Amino acid sequence: MTPPLLQASNLRKTFPVKGGARGQVIHAVDGVSFDIAKGETFGVVGESGCGKSTTGRCILRLIEPTDGQVTFEGRDVIAMDKADLQAMRREMQIIFQDPFASLNPRMTVGAIIGEALQIHGLAGKAKQQRERVAHLLDVVGLNGDHMQRFPHEFSGGQRQRIGIARALAVEPKLVICDEPVSALDVSIQAQVVNLLEDLQEEFGLTYMFIAHDLSVVQHISTRVAVMYLGRVVEIASTDQLYSDPRHPYTETLLEAIPRPDPRRRRKRVQVAGDLPNPIDPPTGCHFHTRCPIRKLPLCATSRPELKTGPDGRAVACHLRG
C-alpha cells in the first residue's frame, strides 16, 4: 500500500482568550486526524469558525500547533528546524482566501512571483527569472507582459490567478487551497476551479481544498472531511458523502445546499440550538447539543472516535459509526 503524502495525527491548536479568565483558551482545532494521498484533492468543509483554515495553517506551520503530529512524505514537519522548514515549504504551498490582502501592494506582479524563486534559490539570472515568471503568468491565463503592473491594477479573479502562479513558482507537491474562490463572483469561481483542475492534471499536484461551499467541494474533491467545532466528524469519498451522509451534522450541511427544483421533496433534518462556544465546548460529542438523534447520557459524556469502516469512510458518531 502506498503511504500517504501527508498525514495529520491528533492535531490541536488553542488560542488564549484576550481579556478572559486566566488559562482560558479557544479550542480551534481539537484532535484532528486525516491523511492525504498523492494526486488527490482532499476537501475540508464546515461552518465558519469550525477550524478548517487553522488546520491548514498548522500543517504548514504558518501557525504553530499546540499538539499533535504532521508528517509529509514520512518527515516530521513539527520537529523541523527553521532551515528544514523553509526547504519543506518549497514542496507545500498555500493559496490564500483574499486575493488582494495576500499580495504586497508595493511590489509588482513580477517581483511577487519572482520572490519565491529567489528565496528557494531557483531564480537564476535576471533574464531567466523574467522568462520563468512570464511562463507562470501564461500558465494561469494571464499575460506575461503584465509583470510590471501592481496588484491593484487587476480584478479579483486575476489577482487570485497571480496567487496561484506564486504558489506554483517553486514546483510544489501539495497545495493548500484556503477558500480560494469564496471572495470571487460565481462565474469567476468556476473559471478558477477549472484552472486548478487543469493545473493539477498538468503538474501532478495534490490539493487540500478548504471551503464552505459544498457545491464547489463536490465538483473538485476526491474525498471530503467534514469539521464541526474543531473536530473531524466524517471522512468519505465525494460520492459516498453526497449520496449517503452518515453523521447527522453532515446531513444538515447537505440539506442546506440550494436545489434547482424547489418542488423536489427532501428529507429535512432539524437542528436545535446555536453553535456552541469554542471557549467552553460541549463534553462528549461536540454536536450532541444540536443533534436530532442524540442518545443521552452516552453522547454527552463520551467522545466518539473517528472510526474507519469496511467501505473506507470514517465517522465519529456513537450511533452511526
Give me the CATH number covering residue 48: 3.40.50.300
Residues 6+ apart with CB under 8 A from 155: 188
Does 13 map to a domain? yes
Please give the tally of structural domains in the chain: 2
Looking at the fold, whether 150 and 217 belong to one and the same domain comes out as: no
Written as nine digits, the cell of 280 is 467552553
pLDDT in tens, 143-177: 988 899 999 999 999 999 999 999 999 999 999 99
Does 45 map to a domain? yes
Looking at the fold, whether 118 and 223 belong to one and the same domain comes out as: no
Looking at the fold, whether 241 and 142 belong to one and the same domain comes out as: no
SS3 118: helix
Identity of the residue numbered 8 = A
Does 57 map to a domain? yes
pLDDT of residue 256: 75
Looking at the fold, whether 42 and 57 belong to one and the same domain comes out as: yes
The last residue of one of the domains, among 168, 196, 221, is: 168
pLDDT of residue 124: 79
Looking at the fold, whether 159 and 176 belong to one and the same domain comes out as: no
pLDDT in tens, 46-83: 988 899 999 999 999 999 999 999 999 999 999 999 99
Looking at the fold, whether 78 and 129 belong to one and the same domain comes out as: no
Written as nine digits, the cell of 131 is 522568462
More confident residue, 135 or 275: 135
Name all contacts of 239-245 with Cβ < 8 Å and 24+ positions apart: 240/311, 240/312, 240/313, 241/313, 242/218
**Cα(317)–Cα(247) distance, rounded to whole angstroms?**
7
Q: Would you place residue 183 in the very low, low, confident or very high pLDDT band (cuts 50, 70, 90)?
A: confident
Q: Residue 273: is its pLDDT beyond 80?
A: no
Phi-psi region for residue 10, left (φ > 0), alpha (ψ -120 to 50) or beta?
A: left
Mean pLDDT across the chain: 92
**Percent with pLDDT over 70 in the chain:** 94
Does 288 map to a domain? no
Question: In a 10 Å sphere around its CB, with 0-12 CB exposed, 13-18 middle and 19+ buried, how is residue 263 labelled?
Answer: exposed
pLDDT of residue 90: 93
Instruction: For cell 462556544, name the residue.
Output: 277
pLDDT of residue 54: 97
Name which of 312, 94, 113, 69 is nearest 207 in CA terms: 94
Q: Would you place residue 269 in the very low, low, confident or very high pLDDT band (cuts 50, 70, 90)?
A: low
Does 84 map to a domain? yes
Looking at the fold, whether 32 and 73 belong to one and the same domain comes out as: yes
The last residue of one of the domains, among 216, 235, 259, is: 259
Written as nine digits, the cell of 240 is 459516498
Looking at the fold, whether 228 and 255 belong to one and the same domain comes out as: yes
**Cα(280)–Cα(282) distance, rounded to whole angstroms?**
7
Does 120 map to a domain? yes
pLDDT in tens, 205-226: 999 999 988 999 999 999 999 9
Could you tell me the strand order of the sheet in which 41-45 lies?
92-95, 174-178, 206-210, 41-45, 223-228, 231-237, 314-315, 307-308
The last residue of one of the domains, among 143, 168, 193, is: 168
Looking at the fold, whether 160 and 180 belong to one and the same domain comes out as: no
C-alpha distances (whole Å) from 105 to each of 101, 160, 266 are 8, 14, 48
Looking at the fold, whether 115 and 158 belong to one and the same domain comes out as: yes
Does 319 map to a domain? no
Q: Determine the length of the chain.
A: 321
**Cα(231)–Cα(52) distance, rounded to whole angstroms?**
9
The secondary structure element, H or E, covering residue 72 is strand 67-72
Q: Residue 261: is its pLDDT beyond 70?
A: no
The secondary structure element, H or E, covering residue 205 is none
pLDDT in tens, 282-302: 999 999 999 999 999 999 999
Does 275 map to a domain? no
Looking at the fold, whether 221 and 85 belong to one and the same domain comes out as: yes
Q: Residue 22: is its pLDDT beyond 80?
A: no
Q: Would you place residue 267 in the very low, low, confident or very high pLDDT band (cuts 50, 70, 90)?
A: low
For residue 140, give its domain range.
103-168
Q: Residue 270: is its pLDDT beyond 60?
A: no
Residues 6+ apart with CB under 8 A from 124: 117, 132
Looking at the fold, whether 215 and 194 belong to one and the same domain comes out as: yes
pLDDT of residue 281: 92
**Cα(321)–Cα(289) distance, rounded to whole angstroms?**
18
